[in-house]
Structure 1
Amino acid sequence: MKTSWRSLVFAGLLLSFGWVDQASARGVTKPLHAHPPGTAIASAHALATQAGFEVIAKGGNAFDAAVAVSAALSVVEPVSSGLGGGGMFLLHDAKTGKDVFVDARETSPASATPDKFLDANGKLDPEKSQNGPWSAGIPGLPAALVHVSQKYGRLPLKVSLQPAIRIAREGFPMYGRLVRAYSERREVMTRYPGTRATFEPNGVPLKEGELLKQPDLARTLQLLGDKGFDGFYKGDIAQKILKAVNDNGGHWNAAELASYRVKERTPISFKYHDWHVVTAPPPSSGGIALAEILQLIEPYDLRKMDQAHRIHLVVEAMRRAYHDRTFYLGDPDFVHVPQKTLLDPAYAAGLRTTINPDKATPSDLFPNTPTPLKEHDETTHFSIIDDQGNLVATTQTVNLLYGSGLIPTGAGFLLNDEMDDFALKAGTPNAFGVMGYEANAPKPGKRMLSSMTPTFMESKDRVAVLGTPGGSRIITMVLLGILGYDDGLNAQQVAALPRYHHQWLPDVVETEKGSLDAATVQSLRAMGHTVIVPGEVKGQRSSDAWGNLQTVEWNKVTGTMDGGSDPRNPVGKAEVRLDKAKTK
């Protein structure tokens, strides 16, 4: 059978405009699906994923589901996030086509001047920056739940909070990560009566499999649902927060709580190959760093490189982006962030000329003192696509394991220890080994710099939502996820990708256990990289596995949906539920 040149040209036009996929070009054409066939949710705990579907079944949309999932994670993952912390919500409204970034980052109380965090010798005191009342910022997550529900949801807030309230009241089984983290943090957490009452109701720590019931948290969530913003930031709960902070040596006032507000910001967006990427703006450092890295590496064909040279190139891009993070990024309401310059392809082109394709660039060209990274699975993330095409990517946190360790008596939630994310002493690394200067110094009401990087990516054929916890490694894990989707992987393959990381200082390439073969490690070292392989050198610290990436995708050509939940986290769950009316 002969094919006319006109047929070939027509097929080429269909392909170029995204009207058909490659298979269709060889046969029958397929129109792109206008809407997803159902809802996909991926979160770090099966109960939270279930909570999202519960409110979808009640007539809610992705934004109502986001409130339900966020609140449920606050109940079942107190080690990672909660009402006493903050978060960043990236939303896409399919009806208007608008992307919006809801910034619910914590803010600095007026009392938290840098001198309060120094010891007698003028050095940064981790006891003050990571534990107890001085380590906490004014919480933002409850305000975000109210804002997202009222402005973007269909259901009343109290309906979307019902699954979390029920789980808090009835309890859920303690799982391994909660038990291990409590053991690690117990010395701090048992200082506070509210914390002891929650995690040691019978005078001893709860064991794996025993029910963690949180009646005080259930009441707090009920107040939030009934009274909205005032149910948390004013009245009884506010008084409990103030008493806990001030009785334990801190200093907050009622006006600081009552004046907290979320901020809607314009997301960062850019192109990478055929993808339109939408991600987090400052005070997250994630979006700018992600854009810098991807613009640096875009001209290279990574698929044609051997593994060592591919990693070398990506690491060199990471190195330069994290250097810029250190010096230029902070809360845009307080400092000038040179965003236009940092996102300019011409700036990336200039940086690209400094990369040697076969040799590592030493980070000590910029003198400083590196410190070992400290890393756990703090922070959490969830991703949602609903049947209308609404998208949600949310990363939320209390910072380190169980935040400050302080639960205000009768309130049921842990306060964060996000003050450690400020540059409390210029040039001194924080718990994640990253440092900062004046751009990220604390001031009253200022938001600390974050690495949270909730992200959307869309091509002609596919839509993906992704994000992960992991401290300073968040950015590089999301980066590797984007590269995975660009390589054609599915959602679960993206969630399972092996990981590596470089953040300028310390000048090391960190790897997960088993993520790189011996030949690749040897080649990288021959190029001048210091590669840390877990367990290889006694006393050299690097986690065996990191992150907890949660991602969902919609294939507009096949009309199918998929979800990926990080296999490193045994309690996470990604699920797709189809709308039967749309699949007939």
Structure 2
Amino acid sequence: MSARVTCSVRHRTLACLVAVGVTASLTTVTQSTAAATARSPARTPVAVGSGGAVSSVDPEATAIGLEVLRRGGNATDAAVATAAALGVTEPYSAGIGGGGFFVHYDAKTGEVETIDGRETAPKAMPREAFLDPTTGEPYPLFPDMVTSGAAVGVPGTPATWDAALREWGTYSLSQALRPAIHLARRGFVVDEEFRKQTLDNAERFSAISSTAEVFLPGGDAPEVGAVFRNPDLARTYAELGHRGVDWFYTGSVADEIVETVRNPPLSGKTELPVPPGHMTAEDLAAYEVSWPEPTRHDYRGHEVVGMGPSSSGGTTVGETLNILERFDLASMGGEKALHHYIEAASLAYADRARYLGDDRFVDVPTEELLSDDFAAERACALDPTAAAPKPVAAGNADGDYDPSCFPGRAPGEDVVVDRPDTEGPSTTHLSVVDRWGNVVAYTLTIEQTGGSGITVPGRGFLLNNELTDFSHVYDPDDPNRIEGGKRPRSSMAPTIVFDDGRPWLVLGSPGGSTIITTVTQTLVNRIDLGMDLPTALAAPRAAPRNTATVSAEPDFRATFGDALSAYGHEFTTSEEIGAAAAIEILPDGTLQAVAEPERRGGGDAKVVHPHR
């Protein structure tokens, strides 16, 4: 545990802390707001203007991205800088201990390219990784496997940042990390959401000595209004920028990560089992991002471009919209359109469970899942007057389709695939457009809120628990079965929508498997139901995922619940679904950046040159 220091807040720098004799690991320091230099910036859900825009869940991160744009950086530079800042202010959702998916549009070439920076299972990960060896039964997911080294995949975020900057950026990795280094040292003001997330994870965090030291200083979550500093993370970022990404995967910090995964630093203060993991130095050294082809499909004259496998986001958003395109939602309005949305999403989720996984290991029929003929046949299973019993069956994506049907008949369907979805809801998303028209949609995560709960000692960042996204019981017919070296299926859906060949809308969201429904419902609201982007994004949400009941926000149930129940839909309440961040390029080139007004405490959207 680090000793207390007497440096003034103004001079609480790394040099000062060392000067007063701190020899242990530099851990997080909290101070009262009155004494601190950090401030709590206002959150702005909508900003309109020119010169570039950034939208994210956090005002500190958005401000850093915007400053990069102001100083001449491009969309990639700003995206990496914003993501690094989110690793400071949203450490339970994202950071260098996790992974994500990066979608980039190049205004000069007109190309869209994507980076798959998803975490990877260690080569030695056994099929029985989530089975209790004493009983042969699956561990309870929460908290036995969520808080474990066995759930930690090889992180992909540092490699993603490096690859994106090398391919499209003008900043070096060191330059892109500098604002986040300053933020980690200076600190940010704790809000109610940060304290709540810390308290929600207090038992898990207290089980790991290095995590409790950083995130539970003095044995409690930081108070609202306190300033939260993370000098360990600042030092790690500084070394990453100076030494380069190879240091993370083959240098001293790689050894520290492996040791932490294989021997989690237990505090002995709880009875959580915290099973050790299987990661090796060779697993880290072998990590590489991949560059999959983006998914593409047409929806009512717009081209929707998204993320391909190992994410299921692009195909499932795409299939849902393709099914809905068979129906005139704009003429329906209200609950009838939402009934069609719920049924179409359920069909697409059935196909997701049947076909989607890491396409380096399983044959994913991406082209078929996004074909209009497959969507037409699947639309035959959608009854406009009644909800089908859930779960519905998966379709046959074999290229032999019969779309000559009428709604209500379901030809050629396969067996029902009913596999529990365990994807964690805590992720973050950012959207960026620069002055030259380059666009980035970037979703990144450490999985569960707080990831694995395991902080690398002295490094200030949490490791992911992404491997819990695999199916927990090995089934050779399951495309998301556990295999060493494989990437677990994701729902992350960073998306760019084009109108007449030009970028029109960029969006994405956190939310685990509800990411897909959040992106889809926002697009339906905007394109079909006539809402402007702020209204489309703020509207109450439901998350149909081919389950017996539909998760829905309280406002959604209050507004549409009774009418949709008449169709046969059943609901459970979810307080919040998603936390989207989006930017629309208006017809005159003006940028409208939009973030959540309330979910997760509200996001923040900014433009370089605001318009009145």
Question: The TM-score by the shorter chain falls in which range?
Answer: 0.7 to 0.9
Is 1:402 the counterpart of 2:418? The answer is no
Asked if structure 2 preserves the Cα contact closer than 8 Å seen for 1:454 and 1:467, the reply is yes
Q: CA deviation at 1:424?
A: 2.3
1:497 aligned to 539, 545, 555, which one? Answer: 539
- Distance in 2 between residues matched to 1:213 and 1:39, nearest whole Å: 29
Give matches, 1:209-358, under 5 Å: 209-248=225-264, 249-358=276-385
Quote the residue 1:89 is aligned against: 102
Decide which of 540, 544, 552 is 2:575's aligned counterpart: 544
5+ residue gaps, structure 2, are 1-48, 265-275, 394-415
Q: Contact 1:168–1:214 at 8 Å: present in 2 too?
A: yes
Shift of 1:443: 1.6
Q: Which residue of 450, 455, 462 maps to 2:495?
A: 455
Match for 2:278: what amino acid?
H
Per-residue deviation at 1:500? 0.8
Taking the TM superposition and a 5 Å limit, the aligned residue runs for 1:190-209 are 190-209=206-225
Query: Contact 1:326 / 1:437 at 8 angstroms: preserved in 2?
Result: no
Aligned counterpart for 2:485 among listed residues 445, 450, 464 = 445
Aligned-partner residue type, residue 315 of structure 1: I
**Superposed, which structure 2 residues align to 1:53-64 within 5 Å?**
53-64=66-77
Map 1:497-576 onto structure 2 (within 5 A): 497-504=539-546, 506-517=547-558, 520-532=560-572, 542-555=573-586, 557-567=587-597, 568-576=599-607
Aligned pair partner of 1:390 in 412, 418, 438: 438
Match of 2:411 in 1: none
Residues 461-514 of structure 1, C-alpha deviations (whole Å, 9 max, x = no match): 87110000011110011001111221443332232121112111x221221111
Residue number among 86, 92, 111 corresponding to 1:73 in the alignment = 86
* DSSP 3-state at the match of 2:608: strand
Q: Which amino acid aligns with 1:232?
A: F
Match of 1:108 in 2: 121
Quote how far apart the aligned CAs of 1:231 are.
2.5
Mark the CA change 1:84 to 1:552 in structure 2 (over 3 Å): closer, same or farther. same
Percent identical among aligned pairs is 36
Which whole-Å CA distance do the structure 2 matches of 1:157 and 1:314 have between them? 42
| Alpha-carbon shift at residue 569 of structure 1 (Å) | 3.3
1:545, distance to aligned residue in structure 2 (A): 2.1
The answer (yes or no) to whether the contact 1:383–1:394 under 8 Å persists in 2 is yes
1:149 to 162, 165, 176: 165
- 2:194 pairs with 178, 197, 208, which one? 178
CA contact (8 A) 2:480 2:488 kept: yes
- Cα distance in 2 for residues equivalent to 1:285 and 1:86: 15
Task: Summarize the Cα distance change of 1:496–1:234 in structure 2 as closer, same or farther, 3 Å threshold.
Answer: same
Q: Which residue of 2 aligns with 1:418?
A: 466
Assess if the C-alpha contact under 8 Å between 2:542 and 2:553 holds in 1: yes
Q: Return the alpha-carbon distance in structure 2 between the equivalents of residues 374 and 47 of structure 1.
A: 31
- C-alpha change, 1:273 and 1:426, in structure 2 (3 Å) is same
Mapped partners of 2:109, 2:148: distance in 1: 44
**What CA deviation, in whole Å up to 9, does each residue of 1:209-230 have, x standing for no partner?**
2122111111111111112212
Q: What displacement does 1:376 show?
A: 7.6
Closer, same or farther in 2 for the Cα pair 1:358/1:421, shift >3 Å? same
| Alpha-carbon contact 1:276-1:459 (below 8 Å) kept | yes
Q: 1:480 aligns with which of 496, 521, 533?
A: 521
SS of alignment partner, residue 161 of structure 1: helix
Q: Deviations over 1:420-465 (max 9, x none)?
A: 10112157xxxxxxxx953111222211100000001121487110
Moved more, 457-466 or 90-99: 457-466
- Give the letter for the 1:185 counterpart: N
> Once the two structures are superposed, what CA deviation does each residue of 1:391-427 show, in whole Å capped at 9, x if it has no partner?
0001111111100000010111100011110112157
In structure 1, what is the Cα distance between the partners aligned to 2:318 and 2:358?
18
Structure 1 position 285, deviation (Å): 0.5
Alpha-carbon distance in structure 2 between the residues aligned to 1:274 and 1:491: 18
Letter in 2 for 1:73: L
Q: Secondary structure at the match of 2:601?
A: coil
The aligned counterpart of 2:16 is none
Aligned partner letter, 1:561:
L
SS in 2 for 1:380: strand
> Which residue identity does 1:563 align to in structure 2?
A
Q: Provide structure 1 residue ranges, at least 5 long, that are not aligned to the other structure.
A: 1-35, 428-435, 533-541
SS at match of 1:137: coil
Once residues 473 and 333 of structure 2 are traced to their aligned partners in structure 1, the CA distance between those partners, rounded to angstroms, is 41
Residues 170-189 of structure 1 show CA distances to partners (whole Å, capped at 9, x for unaligned) of 21122222211221211111
Alpha-carbon separation, structure 2, partners of 1:359 and 1:489: 26
The 8 Å contact of residues 60 and 154 in structure 1, kept in 2 or not, is answered as yes
Q: May I ask how many residue pairs the two structures share in their alignment?
A: 525
Q: Name the amino acid aligned to 2:504.
A: V
- Change in 2 beyond 3 A, CA 1:339/1:151: same
Answer whether contact 2:581 2:596 (CA < 8 A) is retained: yes
8 Å CA contact 1:302, 1:310 repeated in 2: yes
Deviations for 1:34-61, whole angstroms, at most 9, x for unmatched residues? xx94101100101111111222233210
* Residues 524 and 531, structure 1, Cα contact 8 Å, conserved in 2: no
By how many angstroms is 1:370 displaced? 8.1
Task: Measure the CA separation in 2 of the matches of 1:138 and 1:65.
Answer: 25
Q: Distance in 1 between matches of 2:477 and 2:159?
A: 29
Contact 1:376 1:546 in 2 (8 A): no
**Secondary structure in 2 matching 1:407:** coil
Distance 1:38 1:425 in 2: 50
Aligned alpha-carbon RMSD (Å): 2.2
- Structure 2: distance between partners of 1:473 and 1:277: 18
Shift of 1:193: 2.0
Residues 59, 154 of structure 1: 8 Å contact kept: no
User: Residues 246 and 112 of structure 1: is their aligned pair in 2 closer, same or farther, counting only changes over 3 Å?
Assistant: same
Specify whether residues 529 and 200 from structure 1 end up closer, same or farther in structure 2 by C-alpha distance, changes over 3 A only.
closer
Secondary structure of 1:124's match?
coil
TM-score norm. by structure 1 comes to 0.86
Structure-1 separation of matches of 2:368 and 2:137? 34
Q: TM-score, normalised by structure 2?
A: 0.82
Alpha-carbon distance in 1 for matches of 2:471, 2:591: 42
Contact 2:350 2:391 in 1 (8 A): no
Aligned AA (1:292) = E
Aligned to 2:64: 51
- Mapped to 1, the partners of 2:545 and 2:509 lie a distance apart of 17
